[in-house]
Amino acid sequence: MRTWRIDLLKKQLREGPLSQRGSFAYVVATMLLHAIAVVAAGALNAGHTPTGLDWLTSGLTIASVGGGTYAAYRANGGPHGLDFVSRYFALGWVLFVRLVVFLLLPAMVLVFALGAAFAAFHVAEAEMDRYFSWVGAVVGVIYLLMYYGRLVHHLRQVVSSRIG
């Protein structure tokens, strides 16, 4: 895996496609860096001191992305698989859209409806903040687990030529 010397990478790519192991290295590095950047942005949010829940959610997010990407790589056949990067991102895109529609949007509606009900009953702001923190963490972790679980499922179906 090249990190800095792009000329060496271009030379390698001119000679042919990356191996599945090489492709996996770039995908997992990119996805982990993205997850770490998102976690860091949340942790460094001005005026917010990270809580134990924040650290737990951050750890679960990074572990889910790393472990899920590795499980997807293995489901695709590991070093002997075919076209990992295309399959990972194409299936991942469709899964993302579907999970936003069927999980995240309904969860947001439910969470805010419950929040409005709490406000109507004059629940303390600190309690509402705690509620939104926990629910957001749970929904986020469920999303990642469902995303990678379904990605692995669909990759296995592609590899075995079963559709459905």
Model's pTM, two decimal places?
0.82
**Contact by Cβ (8 Å): 71, 152:** yes
> Is 1 part of a structural domain of the chain?
no
Predicted pLDDT of residue 164: 58
- State the angle between helix axes of 20-43 and 84-99 in degrees (0 to 180), rounded to the nearest 10: 40
> Is 48 part of a structural domain of the chain?
yes
> Is 156 part of a structural domain of the chain?
yes
Q: State the average pLDDT over residues 80-85.
A: 94
Rounded Cα gap, residues 105 and 86, in angstroms: 27
Rounded Cα gap, residues 149 and 130, in angstroms: 28
Which of 66, 58, 60 lies closest to 42, judged by CA? 58
Q: State the average pLDDT over residues 59-88.
A: 95
Task: State the residue range of the domain holding 99.
Answer: 6-160
Of 50 and 34, the one with more pLDDT: 34
> Is 135 part of a structural domain of the chain?
yes
Q: Which two tokens stand for residue 21?
A: 């192991």
Contacts 24+ apart (CB under 8 A), 107-114: 107/139, 111/135, 111/136, 111/139
> Is 126 part of a structural domain of the chain?
yes
Flag whether pLDDT at 136 surpasses 80.
yes
> Is 89 part of a structural domain of the chain?
yes
Rounded Cα gap, residues 144 and 66, in angstroms: 11
> Is 113 part of a structural domain of the chain?
yes
The number of domains in the chain is 1
> Is 103 part of a structural domain of the chain?
yes
